[in-house]
Amino acid sequence: MKIALAQLNYHIGNFEANTGKIIDTIGKAKQNGADLVVFAELCVSGYPARDFLEFKEFISLCDDAANKIAAASSGIACIIGLPTVNHKPEGKDLNNSAYFINDGKIEARVDKALLPNYDVFDEYRYFEPSTEFNCIDFKGKRIALTICEDLWNTIENPLYITRPMDSLIKQQPDVMINIAASPFAYNHDEERIAILTDNASRYKLPLFYVNQIGAQTELIFDGGSLVIDNTGKLADELPYFTEALTYYTLNDDASISFDHQSTLKTERPSDIEQIHQGLLLGIRDYFYKSGFSRATLGLSGGIDSAVVCALAAEALGAENVMAVLLPSKFSTDHSLKDAEDLVNNLGCKSETIAIRNVTDAIEGVLQPQFNNLPFNIAEENIQSRSRAIILMAMCNKFGYILLNTSNKSEAAVGYGTLYGDMCGGISVIGDVYKTQVFELARYINREREIIPENTIVKPPSAELRPDQKDTDSLPEYDVLDKILREYVENRCSSSEIIQMGYEENTVKRVIKLVNTAEHKRYQTPPILRVSPKAFGMGRRMPIVGKYLS
């Protein structure tokens, strides 16, 4: 049996585009002699369609699309994913389903049993879990078809009370197929390979696994679809962050053969390399899928905006990036110089707009209120917000999307100005700690100096008052980032983190900063997710909660 794996980029709710792409791919696979072509989980609707799923019309459009796809599948079989109506009276109204379509007919439907409902996932919000498990017979092979999380119930501390493959294996299948929509995090490829090879060796079956690629606002799908033999050995690994269509022959002895050049990796790419790739796809798809092509951002001469500018230029083309230098009276000469050097290195567009007239005017109209009160955070924020107002005016006049340049360390401790530097359509590095931003800068410079060396080596400063340094308000970033990782990602308590050897007052201060900044993070742009725990939809905190604040 010849199986094609279609690792594609879908667009949520864009039925015309998704259906067209699926039907085109079926045509190609047929031309190449495939018996079966496998698409990803919820490929028909795009994933996550979120509360669009609550619209009956949306579900019926999925059904229409499935019928079109079936009609286009004469002489070939395919597996697609879509939301379907739960026909049982009890339980949620929908299932997260896979259709097995053969020669123009929908021959079988498989519903997902294990519904992820943690971190960024809300599947139990919409779907009823399946409790019935049946294999599919096709061309002399019995297929155990499952959907993503169905293979992810671990042996130690299982999250679910059932394990679909334990039921399916009783029907003596010849092969496992798993369709997925499994989002990227820099450590996720290794976890995915470990879990899936473990399934293949546990059930002694070859496994074909198809993931999506493409970004849906904050969630980035990285592909990396897998073919694993019945001993648990990786036979093939599809490319990451790009579409692919590959073919395999499942032989009668259960071995797998293929004649393309495998992209199976001999060495895992570094975290930073993966983050770099992920962010490029995240930027590109955010613009493409919203129908925009041009970005703007404020370029300070500091490392955060420099890295975002370089990523944007690579993702969108330097000609589509407008860097705006917005010096205030506290900006240093070297900052302007560093920003100009970056613009020259990238070849992007730039404008310089001094903000002093604006901040003076604002402080002027506030003078009767502020009187002679000392300069404080109010005046600092006026600078940051003046920059935002100018950048947003550029967006409104010329059709740019503003890129937010806050990093994860700042976002965590609230070191940023709401409606100021926390503005933007999308946050590019809001899931990248400051120490990782430095690594990313070095990675971007791996072949030639793009980000000026001085931007990388100088001490970080917001330059909102004379001689300001980030370390005036925050611990050194190498300490801060480690504490943040324990608290945000590993959900350790202050006492646990202190026991690891961090200074007690620093730990308590950092955690308090994180918890009292919830109201700020609530209003920030969506953040491209590259870690296992990003701020945004995957981390949901009370705002007026009192715990550790």
Query: Which helix (DSSP H) or strand (DSSP E) does residue 515 occupy?
Result: helix 504-516
Question: What is the closest distance, in whole angstroms, from the C-beta atom of residue 369 to a copy of itself in the complex?
Answer: 6
Question: What is the closest distance, in whole angstroms, from the C-beta atom of residue 540 to a copy of itself in the complex?
Answer: 5
Q: Are strands 226-228 and 219-222 parallel, antiparallel or unpaired?
A: unpaired
CB 203 within 8 A of CB 169: yes
Question: What is the closest distance, in whole angstroms, from the C-beta atom of residue 164 to a copy of itself in the complex?
Answer: 14
Q: Which is nearer to a copy of itself, 232 or 414 (CB)?
A: 414
298 labeled part of a ligand binding site: yes
Question: What is the closest distance, in whole angstroms, from the C-beta atom of residue 89 to a copy of itself in the complex?
Answer: 7
Amino acid at site 19: T
224 labeled part of a ligand binding site: no
Calpha distance 490→483 (Å, rounded): 10
119 token code pair = 């971190």
CB 214 within 8 A of CB 285: yes
91 labeled part of a ligand binding site: no
Q: Which is nearer to a copy of itself, 374 or 466 (CB)?
A: 374
Question: What is the closest distance, in whole angstroms, from the C-beta atom of residue 378 to a copy of itself in the complex?
Answer: 4
302 labeled part of a ligand binding site: yes
Listing DSSP states for 301-323 in one string gives SSHHHHHHHHHHHHHH-GGGEEE
Calpha distance 70→147 (Å, rounded): 20
Calpha distance 182→184 (Å, rounded): 7
Q: Which of 62, 78, 135, 148 is catalytic?
A: 148
Q: Which of 21, 30, 41, 395 is catalytic?
A: 41
How far does the chain reach from its first CA to its final CA, in angstroms? 60
304 labeled part of a ligand binding site: yes
Question: What is the closest distance, in whole angstroms, from the C-beta atom of residue 447 to a copy of itself in the complex?
Answer: 32
Q: Is 533 a catalytic residue?
A: no
303 labeled part of a ligand binding site: yes
Q: If we measure between CA atoms, which residue out of 483, 479, 513 comes closest to residue 498?
A: 483
CB 266 within 8 A of CB 414: no
Q: Which is nearer to a copy of itself, 419 or 443 (CB)?
A: 419
Calpha distance 188→192 (Å, rounded): 6
Q: Which of 43, 62, 78, 112 is catalytic?
A: 112
320 labeled part of a ligand binding site: no
* Helix intervals (H) in 89-181: 164-168
118 labeled part of a ligand binding site: yes
Q: Which is nearer to a copy of itself, 35 or 410 (CB)?
A: 410
CB 391 within 8 A of CB 419: no
240 labeled part of a ligand binding site: no
CB 426 within 8 A of CB 526: yes
Q: Which is nearer to a copy of itself, 93 or 271 (CB)?
A: 93
Q: Is 41 a catalytic residue?
A: yes
- Output helix, strand, coil percentages for the chain, rounded to the nearest 5: 40, 20, 40
Q: Which is nearer to a copy of itself, 189 or 421 (CB)?
A: 421
Strand order in the sheet with 295-298: 349-352, 321-325, 295-298, 401-404, 426-427
Amino acid at site 2: K
CB 290 within 8 A of CB 316: no
3-state DSSP assignment of residue 234: strand
Q: Are strands 226-228 and 207-210 parallel, antiparallel or unpaired?
A: antiparallel
Query: Which helix (DSSP H) or strand (DSSP E) does residue 263 occupy?
Result: none
Neighbours of 398 (CB within 10 A): 10
DSSP type of residue 123 = G
Q: Which is nearer to a copy of itself, 287 or 438 (CB)?
A: 287
- Cβ neighbours of residue 495 closer than 8 Å, sequence gap 6 or more: none
Calpha distance 307→309 (Å, rounded): 5
Q: Which is nearer to a copy of itself, 55 or 190 (CB)?
A: 55
467 labeled part of a ligand binding site: no
CB 228 within 8 A of CB 206: yes
Per the DSSP assignment, residues forming a β-bridge with 227 are 208, 236
Q: Which is nearer to a copy of itself, 305 or 427 (CB)?
A: 427
User: Distances from the Cα of 105 to the Cαs of 25, 76, 78, 108, in angstroms?
Assistant: 17, 10, 10, 9
Q: Is 508 a catalytic residue?
A: no
Q: If we measure between CA atoms, which residue out of 271, 248, 273 comes closest to residue 259?
A: 248
Question: What is the closest distance, in whole angstroms, from the C-beta atom of residue 346 to a copy of itself in the complex?
Answer: 20
Question: What is the closest distance, in whole angstroms, from the C-beta atom of residue 345 to a copy of itself in the complex?
Answer: 23
427 labeled part of a ligand binding site: no
Question: What is the closest distance, in whole angstroms, from the C-beta atom of residue 255 to a copy of itself in the complex?
Answer: 35
299 labeled part of a ligand binding site: yes
Q: Which residues are annotated as a binding site for deamido-NAD(+)?
A: 381, 410, 520
Q: Which residues are annotated as a binding site for L-glutamine?
A: 118, 182
Active site residues: 41, 112, 148
Q: Which residues are annotated as a binding site?
A: 118, 182, 298-305, 381, 405, 410, 520
Q: Which residues are annotated as a binding site for ATP?
A: 298-305, 405
